[in-house]
Amino acid sequence: MFKRVPGTRDILPGETECWQNIENISRSLFTRHNYREIRTPLLEDEPLFNRSLGETAEIVQKQMFLIKREHDVYALRPEGTASIVRAYIENNLDKQQGFVKLYYMGPMFRAERPQKGRLRQFHHIGCEAIGSYGPGIDAEVIVLADSLLKALGISGYRIALNSLGCVSDQQAFRVFLKDKLSGRLNDLCADCKDRFGRNILRVLDCKNDSCRHIIRELNISGSSRCAECESHFSSVRRSLDALGVSYEISPNLVRGLDYYNRTVFEFKHDGLGPQQDALGAGGRYDGLVKQLGGPDAGAIGFAFGVERLILASGLKAETEMVQPGLVYVITLGDRARAAGVKLLADLRGAGVTADTDYEGKSLKAAMRTANDLKARFVAILGDDELKEGVVALKDMSNSSQEKVRISELTDKIKGSSK
């Protein structure tokens, strides 16, 4: 028997309704903020991610699913931002509109060690606003992410906020860290020893207790930001304050991807599993569009992990394969079967969810199926009913039964389902 690949999941009927609900709420919210949907391929050229996320990023180093074909190497996308910037440039979106607001939802792939809340195929819901450097859009994007969680009924999260400053601020910060940490190298975990040489900023968000202790002692305050970056960050904070969004300033929040600068943020929640607390995250990536061959364009976005949204919302996926409001049509005999086919088509055409038995089961067996499917109504059609132009309609919610004219059935059902 075949099994699914570790770290992937089947999303079954019963759960899919919960996913659709999350997707519908997200679509509606993005649309109200004038974001339009973009769908990019799951496959991209591998170098797109190496260039965007950085050679030293953990995703690039260890987590990309690569597919080699002849001379090309493709990657299953590990995230959406790089692909969207590629699409923005390739399709000349900058020339059409200048500033664009895009949203997306779909699967991402990372070869991580699977555990609760950490999968190899997981799903993002996110957005990217490309074409503005102004702090106004930073605040709007963070508020939008906050509104999305609220709309999904999620509470108990906190927003960690930081500004990484510009490229030269980050360079100065790296020098500062190298200087401070070089004397403590032996006390850092093996991963951080490696990070010290390759990507020292990542030491700041190490989860290891002794590394955290060392970092706390450094008392990092974010004071390495230049005046312009400081003023940008103050403006973002003022807008969030004015809108009543609470956040914590987290000078240690650096994010793991090279493309970030200035504003970065994470939505944290404690119910996501032992090794992770991020429901979603995002930030500015002002250099990326130019770096990938496009124009100068400031940009910012975020992505939530849908599986983690579901964990945090406590939304219990029903795993029963039932359709609410189902009408189950049972026909008895050949003539009734032909009429039943028409009845089904009429019900479905009028927007009612309807199904039938295809095996010619007895009334008793068909009623059992209707029960198993948790049908709301059963419409029984035999020769006698046909002659009279009626069905025997059983309301399964109270077991009452009445004759209803076939021509009035749809209205009757729609009226009762209200």
Interaction between residue 308 and ligand HAM (CB under 6 A): yes
**Which of residues 46, 307, 357, 385 is near ligand HAM by CB under 6 A?**
307
Q: Which of residues 47-106 bind ligand HAM (CB under 6 A)?
A: 79-81
Residue 105 CB, nearest distance to ligand HAM (Å)? Answer: 12
- The footprint of ligand HAM on this chain (CB under 6 A) covers a number of residues equal to 25
Q: What letters, b where the CB count within 10 A reaches 16 and e where it falls short, cover 100-125?
A: bbbbbbeebbbebeeeebbbbbbbbb
Segment interacting with ligand HAM (CB under 6 A) among 131-139, 304-312, 344-352, 377-385: 304-312
Q: How far is Cα of residue 127 from the mean position of the Cα atoms in its chain?
A: 10
Q: What are phi and psi of 379, to 5 degrees?
A: -110, 115
Which of 254, 303, 327, 336: binder of ligand HAM (CB under 6 A)? Answer: 303
Strands of 43-45's sheet in order across: 43-45, 72-76, 65-69
Query: Is 110 one of the binding residues for ligand HAM (CB under 6 A)?
Result: yes
Question: What gap in Å lies between CA 5 and CA 93, rounded to an integer?
Answer: 37
Nearer to ligand HAM, 94 or 307 (CB): 307
Alpha carbons 386 and 395: distance in angstroms, whole number: 20
Among 112, 140, 146, 258, binds ligand HAM (CB under 6 A): 112
Closest CA to 220 of 258, 165, 284, 157: 165
- With binding defined as CB under 6 A, does residue 305 bind ligand HAM? yes
**Which helix H or strand E contains 69, and what residues bound it?**
strand 65-69
> What is the rounded CA–CA span in Å between residue 287 and residue 290?
6
Which of 181, 279, 297, 391 is close enough to bind ligand HAM by CB under 6 A?
279
Binding mask 125-144 for ligand HAM (x = CB under 6 A): -x-x----------------
- Measured from the CB atom, is 169 or 266 closer to ligand HAM? 266
Distance of alpha carbon 415 from alpha carbon 195, whole angstroms: 65
Closer CB to ligand HAM, 58 or 355, in the complex: 58
Backbone angles phi, psi at 318, to 5 degrees: -75, 135
Nearer to ligand HAM, 37 or 402 (CB): 37
Q: How far is the CB of 233 from ligand HAM (least distance, A)?
A: 17
Q: In angstroms, what is the minimal distance from the CB of 120 to ligand HAM?
A: 7
Report the chain's terminal Cα–Cα distance, integer Å: 45
Using CB positions, name the residue nearest to ligand HAM: 305
Q: Cβ of residue 123: shortest distance to ligand HAM, in angstroms?
A: 8
Rg (the chain; Cα; Å): 28
Give min distance, CB of 33 to ligand HAM, in A: 15
Distance CA 355, CA 211 (A): 60
In whole angstroms, how close is the CB of 202 to ligand HAM at the nearest point? 13
Secondary structure (3-state) at 203: helix
Closest CA to 343 of 404, 394, 410: 410
298 binds ligand HAM (CB under 6 A): no
- DSSP-derived letter for residue 318 is P
Instruction: Check residue 280 for interaction with ligand HAM (CB under 6 A).
Output: yes
For residue 118, state whether it binds ligand HAM (rule: CB under 6 A): yes
Which 3 state secondary structure label does DSSP give 159? strand
> Which residues lie near ligand HAM (CB under 6 A)?
79-81, 110, 112, 117-119, 122, 124, 126, 128, 278-283, 301-305, 307-308
